[in-house]
Amino acid sequence: MTGGTLHDRAAVVGVGETSYLRGSKDSALALQLQASLTAIRDAGLEPGDIDGIIPVGITGAPAEEYIANFGLTDLRFSAVVPHGGASGIGALQAAAAAVSAGIAKHVLVPAGRNVSSGDKAGVRIHQMPQFRLVTEFEKPAGAIAPAQLYAPMARRHMELYGTTSRQFGEIAVSTREHAALHGNAVMTKPITIDDHQSSRLIADPFRLLDCSLESDGGAAFVVSSPERARDLAQPVVSLAGIAMGHPDSPSSITQRPDLTKVGIAKAAPIAWGVAGLGPGDVDVAEIYDCFTYVVLCQLEDMGFCAKGEGGPFVEGGRLRLGGALPTNTHGGLLSQGHMLGMNHIVEAVRQLRGNAGRAQVDGAQVAIATGYGDMGDGGLAVLTRGAR
Amino acid sequence: MSDDLSTGYWDGARRGALVLQRCTACGHVRHYPTLLCPVCHSDGVEPLEACGRGTVHSWTVAHHAFDPAFADDLPYTLVTVDVEEGPRVLARLEPDTAGLQIGRPVTIGFAPGAGGVPVPLARPA
Ligand SMILES: [Zn+2]
């Protein structure tokens, strides 16, 4: 492995999350601080040990809030990674680079949101500079929310490859099953493929049960060097490889040469290469699931199956606990709650520590977490139990 | 360089024409507007009025109003259209037709949308 890569140069040493729910009385900042304290203490650290902060999401409080609330006196690194749902992976990459370079010792990556009290996604995205073209040219036609903007990607996949709505349903059903096992989830009532098929159409082909949940909560993790990680409280979870990728035509899906291909198609070969691992080595997958189809598309773009074969791939219980590729063992954004993909990273770490409770994948040694955001930016993190 | 990138598009839209950008250096046709040609990085640009013919690339039917301004329109169909000049345009499709398929020929015009803003309108050719 070349010296410039992030192979085993950083570890996730602490994770934390709040309850996921709708209608939290706590502000986004309060939820971010709660999750952060949990993650810091999980690592065996104290807030004063944090010397780097990368807030995630457009509700992410600036580093100054942490300096004030934690009484920090020596913050050496802060950054903002503006990739929507890919921000967690992007922040993990930036944090790993910072600890690897010796700029900071312990970098906190917090997220938290209270969407119950605020604007929904369909309003929020039009306030973001990266969507100015969508806002100017597509919103007047009635293309408002991510569900509508992503639906043509799924529709084209269905038309080209014969992918079916029932196959999307497989992803919704297995994810819900895992949410029930996990427990900390907004939605835990079991669903069937028929429930999926009879849920109302939102933006054809997406039905209600294809869509992730707007929810409240906080999630956070702490990144340190492997050397420091060995002296902390938890089994070492090493970052074996990581990469980010932007799709061609990054901000407008409409102009994308291939609607069925997203940014992770560029990131995945790099992340696998740095990790020295491939899809066949993965014990558990936490795949960003803002919509069911987005999971299927990323599975293809990461090389778990060929382009167009995602539909059959997700069938037959492959994604369920006990299946060949247990996926979204926490319930994902579809059933646990929408924490910008931060909850995928938290769950991947728990799985590798072996403390994922009833949703534990026996003997998990290799886990992946992906990010997907801002219309197609993608990231893949390959994590391992200890350095390999 | 002018930052007033969209003037040509909106002036055209108001008279019912789809106006794209063409690079005066290499001829590349682009949409949505950018300051530089992504192929040759020239800032030389001229308006190009599209012929108005295209084919369906993908589509979605909205059944939920994410903005109250569109509640009365439900359900409505949004098509992504490959226009003959190269780029794609997101348009409303009328009349809503069953049996939409990739490659179906359409024509692109404009019609007033919510708030009177001209919106691309595709019709089966
Ligand atoms: Zn050019």
- Whether B56 contacts chain A with CB within 8 A: no
pLDDT of A4 above 60:
no
Question: Crossing angle for the helix pair A342-353 and A87-100, nearest 10 degrees?
Answer: 60
pLDDT of A2 above 50:
no
Residue in B closest to A205 by C-alpha: B60
pLDDT of A111 above 90:
yes
Mean pLDDT of B82-105: 93
pLDDT of A99 above 60:
yes
CB contact (8 A) between residue A202 and residue B76: no
Structural domains in chain B? 6-124 (2.40.50.840)
For the purposes of burial, counting CB atoms within 10 Å of the CB of B27, is it exposed (0-12), middle (13-18) or buried (19 or more)? exposed
Tell me how far apart the alpha carbons of residues A182 and A18 are, in angstroms, rounded to a whole number: 14
Tell me how far apart the alpha carbons of residues A170 and A302 are, in angstroms, rounded to a whole number: 19
Confirm whether A5 is domain-assigned: no
Tell me how far apart the alpha carbons of residues A8 and A47 are, in angstroms, rounded to a whole number: 25
The partner residue sitting opposite B32, judged by closest CB among A142, A206, A252, is A252
Confirm whether A57 is domain-assigned: yes
Could you report the per-residue pLDDT of A29-58, keeping only the tens digit for each? 999 999 999 999 999 999 999 999 999 987
The alpha carbons of chain B give a radius of gyration, in whole angstroms, of 15
Number of domains in chain A: 1
- Min mean pLDDT across A161-165, A268-272, A375-379 is at A375-379
**The pLDDT of residue A120:** 66
Report the share of chain B in percent with pLDDT over 70. 98
Residue with tokens 């301004």: B69
Structure confidence at residue A86 as a pLDDT band (50, 70, 90): very high
Could you report the per-residue pLDDT of B54-75, keeping only the tens digit for each? 999 999 999 999 999 999 999 9
Confirm whether A129 is domain-assigned: no
* Residue ranges making up the domain that contains A342: 10-119+211-385
- Whether B2 contacts chain A with CB within 8 A: no
**The pLDDT of residue B116:** 86
CB contact (8 A) between residue A204 and residue B6: no
Task: Tell me the CA–centroid distance for residue B2 and ligand 1, in Å.
Answer: 16
Task: Tell me the CA–centroid distance for residue B121 and ligand 1, in Å.
Answer: 29
pLDDT of A121 above 70:
no
More confident residue, A2 or A161: A161
CA of B54 vs chain A CAs: smallest distance (Å): 14
Confirm whether A42 is domain-assigned: yes
CA of A136 vs chain B CAs: smallest distance (Å): 9
**The pLDDT of residue B65:** 92
Structure confidence at residue A118 as a pLDDT band (50, 70, 90): low
User: Which residues of chain B neighbour A153 with C-beta distances below 8 Å?
Assistant: 58
Confirm whether A152 is domain-assigned: no
Confirm whether A47 is domain-assigned: yes
For the purposes of burial, counting CB atoms within 10 Å of the CB of A162, is it exposed (0-12), middle (13-18) or buried (19 or more)? exposed
Confirm whether A149 is domain-assigned: no
**The pLDDT of residue A250:** 86
**The pLDDT of residue A130:** 78
CA of B113 vs chain A CAs: smallest distance (Å): 7
CB atoms within 10 A of CB B78: 26
8 Å CB contact between A310 and A163: yes
Q: How many helices (H) and strands (E) does chain B have?
A: 1, 8
According to DSSP, the β-strands at B76-83 and B118-124 are unpaired
CB atoms within 10 A of CB A378: 33
CB contact (8 A) between residue A142 and residue B64: no
**The pLDDT of residue B1:** 47
Tell me how far apart the alpha carbons of residues A43 and A18 are, in angstroms, rounded to a whole number: 16
A304: left (phi over 0), alpha (psi -120 to 50) or beta: alpha
Confirm whether A193 is domain-assigned: no
More confident residue, A120 or A22: A22
CB contact (8 A) between residue B67 and residue A141: no
User: Which residues of chain A neighbour B90 with C-beta distances below 8 Å?
Assistant: 137-138, 141, 143, 254
Could you report the per-residue pLDDT of A242-285, keeping only the tens digit for each? 999 999 988 889 999 999 999 999 999 999 999 999 999 999 99
With CA atoms as reference, report the closest residue to A42 among A194, A232, A172: A232
- Whether B91 contacts chain A with CB within 8 A: yes
> Residue A279 sits in a domain of what CATH number?
3.40.47.10
Strands across the sheet containing B19-23: B29-30, B19-23, B45-49
According to DSSP, the β-strands at B88-93 and B118-124 are parallel
User: Which residues of chain A neighbour B9 with C-beta distances below 8 Å?
Assistant: 137
Tell me how far apart the alpha carbons of residues A340 and A89 are, in angstroms, rounded to a whole number: 10
CB contact (8 A) between residue B66 and residue A148: yes
Arithmetic mean of pLDDT over chain A: 95
Could you report the per-residue pLDDT of A311-357, keeping only the tens digit for each? 999 999 999 999 999 999 999 999 999 999 999 999 999 999 999 99
Could you report the per-residue pLDDT of A199-251, keeping only the tens digit for each? 999 999 999 999 999 899 999 999 999 999 999 999 999 999 999 999 998 88
Q: Which residues contact A372 (CB under 8 A, 6 or more apart)?
A: A85, A86, A262, A263, A264, A288, A290, A294, A298, A341, A378
| B36 DSSP assignment | S
Alpha helices for chain A (secondary structure H): 28-42, 63-70, 87-100, 121-124, 132-133, 146-161, 165-182, 193-198, 226-229, 264-275, 292-301, 310-314, 342-353
- Whether B102 contacts chain A with CB within 8 A: yes
pLDDT of A1 above 70:
no
